[in-house]
Amino acid sequence: MYNAPQPKLEDLPSKRQLRRSSIIAGIGAVFIGVAVYMPAELGQDPTGVGSLLGLTEMGEIKQQLKAEAAADAETHSELEPSLLDDILGLFVSSAYAQEAWQDSITFTLEPGEYTETKAIMEEGATLFYEWSSTGGRVNFDLHAHAGSDAVTYEKGRGQTEGTGSFETPFAGNHGWFWRNRDEEAVTVTLLLRGDYSAILSEEK
Amino acid sequence: MSTRLALFILTTLLFSTSAALAHDVTPGDAGYIQEIWGVHIIPFIYLGAKHMITGYDHILFLLGVVFFLYHMKDVAIYVSLFAIGHSVTMLLGVWFGWGINAYIIDAIIGLSVIYKALDNLGMFQKWLGFQPNTKAATLIFGLFHGTGLASKILEYEIAPDGLLANLLSFNVGVEVGQLLALFVILIVMGYWRRNPNFLKQAAYANWIMVALGAWLTYIQIAGYITFPQQA
């Protein structure tokens, strides 16, 4: 029957061999669990092996992202902008000419830190931007979401500058999520002009 | 400014800030990969190994391949053929960006499990009157499994900076994960094969594998019908 003959007992690994393999597998599983899985998933490194292999950083980033995702799900807003600033911005910024930069925003992020910069915009409005970083490279996600609408204009990793524009497909807050994954503090300067009513940016 | 206008502005502002600054964070392995750039050899080996060990469809096929193999030489030949197959399409698939619909490729992987279990049961000899080449089948299904791996790695969006080194590391990790899984499978099978009723129980086990493969195929096809656009 089947594709195989009945294996002869003497061809098979002996019980002693199997027991020895099981013990090795058990020890291996415990070692992998403590020395590899814990740092790589939880960011905890009781043996020091994880940090040696560069796995603890991965676990720390995963834990950080998990906590942020949970915080995001809980509250969809992280900052209460000053209403006065926004009302002023609403009237002041729309009066500027299109040629010159309307706003210049500078912020500094320590390694692992993040911030957001968003422009309040109507549907069909255009934003022009130019930014550069000093001290290191930065990750960004240029996006917007309002209700069920969502758009990602651009994502980047380890960049030091960027320039461009986008047109909004829906009204809402359009802009950047920035994070420093480099080793040193990074300072980003962002220049903006376009049809927006105000800029929201997180204070650091 | 009239009161109505002031109220309108205030309401608009309150409405717009409520959905304002939340950012889309991708947690887990994909989130980590999307945050980094440059060469990260050991983390990618880890991710490759994890991918294989938690990929129950690959493990199920691997179990089918070694089900009746107990000479280490045979195990090594078949497992290598599977590894060569999935390495080729995984590396080329990611490098050239072959994004195949994940449901379709996973349905094919489900079919590979059915195929191998039926093959183990000797059903092709019974139904077709001949035995299709088992080594060729292992290699060919390896190619499909690699395409499935590639489709999933593409979703990770690995940074172009360091892509080749990271991809090769991931591939090494997939093989490490396969060897770790194989080690455990061979121990369990080693004990089982010593049982005098092994062949009879093996028949039931392979029919269960046919059913599991059919179930995997079914949920992937159902997924494809529900979300045909999803890559």
Q: To 10 degrees, what angle do helices B163-193 and B72-96 make?
A: 150
Place of tokens 């309108």: B8
Cα separation of B45 and B165, whole Å? 11
- Whether the Cβ atoms of residue B201 and residue B192 lie closer than 8 Å to each other: yes
The one-letter amino acid at B137: A
Q: Tokens at residue A92, please?
A: 């002041």
Amino acid A35: pLDDT: 95
Search chain B and give the residue with CA nearest A89. B13
- Edge-first strand listing for the sheet containing A138-146: A149-159, A138-146, A172-179, A114-121, A196-201
Q: What is the 3-state secondary structure (H, E, C) of chain A?
A: CCCCCCCCHHHCCCHHHHHHHHHHHHHHHHHHHHHHHHHHHHCCCCCCHHHHHCCHHHHHHHHHHHHHHHHHHHCCCCCCCCHHHHHHHHHHHHHCCCCCCCEEEEEEECCCCEEEEEEEECCCCEEEEEEEEECCCEEEEEEEEECCEEEEEEEEEEECEEEEEEECCCCEEEEEEEECCCCCCEEEEEEEEECEEEEEECCC
What DSSP assignment string belongs to B130-152?
S---HHHHHHHHHHHHHHHHHHH
Give the torsion sign (CA, B180, A28, B41, A154).
positive
The one-letter amino acid at B209: M
Amino acid B185: pLDDT: 96
> Quick one: DSSP state of residue A35?
I
Q: Which residues of B touch A147 (CB under 8 A)?
A: 19
The nearest CA of chain A is from the CA of B68 a distance in Å of: 6
Q: Which residues of A touch B133 (CB under 8 A)?
A: none
Cα separation of B231 and B219, whole Å? 16
Cα dihedral: A60, A112, B163, A31 (round 10): -20
Whether residue A76 and residue B22 make contact (CB cut-off 8 A), yes or no, is yes
Query: What ranges in B54-197 are assigned the alpha helix state H?
Result: 56-66, 72-96, 102-120, 123-128, 134-156, 163-193
Helix or strand or coil: residue A140? Answer: strand
The nearest CA of chain A is from the CA of B28 a distance in Å of: 5
Search chain A and give the residue with CA nearest B23. A177
Question: pTM score, two decimals?
Answer: 0.78
The one-letter amino acid at B197: N
User: Which of A41, A49, A56, A58 is most worth mutating to test chain B (most B CB atoms within 10 A of its CB)?
Assistant: A58
Instruction: Report phi then psi at A99, rounded to 5.
Output: -75, -45
Nearest Cβ partner for B68 among A4, A54, A78 = A4
Whole-Å CA distances, A147 to A144, A151, B16, B22, B71: 10, 11, 10, 12, 60
Helix or strand or coil: residue A173? Answer: strand
Cα separation of A35 and A93, whole Å? 55
Res. B231: pLDDT tops 80: no
Cα dihedral: B134, B140, B142, B143 (round 10): 170
Cα separation of A50 and B43, whole Å? 10
Q: Is B28 left (phi over 0), alpha (psi -120 to 50) or beta?
A: left
Whether residue A81 and residue B24 make contact (CB cut-off 8 A), yes or no, is no
A–B CB contacts, 8 A cutoff, strictly below: 166
Whether residue B183 and residue A146 make contact (CB cut-off 8 A), yes or no, is no
Cα separation of B208 and A20, whole Å? 30
Nearest Cβ partner for B24 among A53, A120, A141 = A141
- Closest residue by Cα to residue B86 from B152, B11, B132, B25: B152
Please count the other Cβ atoms lying within 10 Å of the Cβ belonging to residue B18: 12
Please count the other Cβ atoms lying within 10 Å of the Cβ belonging to residue B148: 25
Cα separation of B193 and A8, whole Å? 9
B127-170 tens-digit pLDDT = 998 889 999 999 999 999 999 999 989 988 888 889 999 999 99
Instruction: Per residue of chain A (204 residues), give pLDDT as tens.
Output: 456 677 788 888 899 999 999 999 999 999 999 999 999 999 999 999 999 998 999 999 999 999 888 887 775 544 444 555 555 555 444 444 446 888 889 999 999 888 989 999 999 999 999 999 999 899 999 999 887 888 889 988 889 999 999 999 999 899 999 999 988 899 999 999 998 988 888 754
B64-117 tens-digit pLDDT = 999 999 888 999 999 999 999 999 999 999 999 887 888 999 999 999 999 999
ipTM > 0.90? no
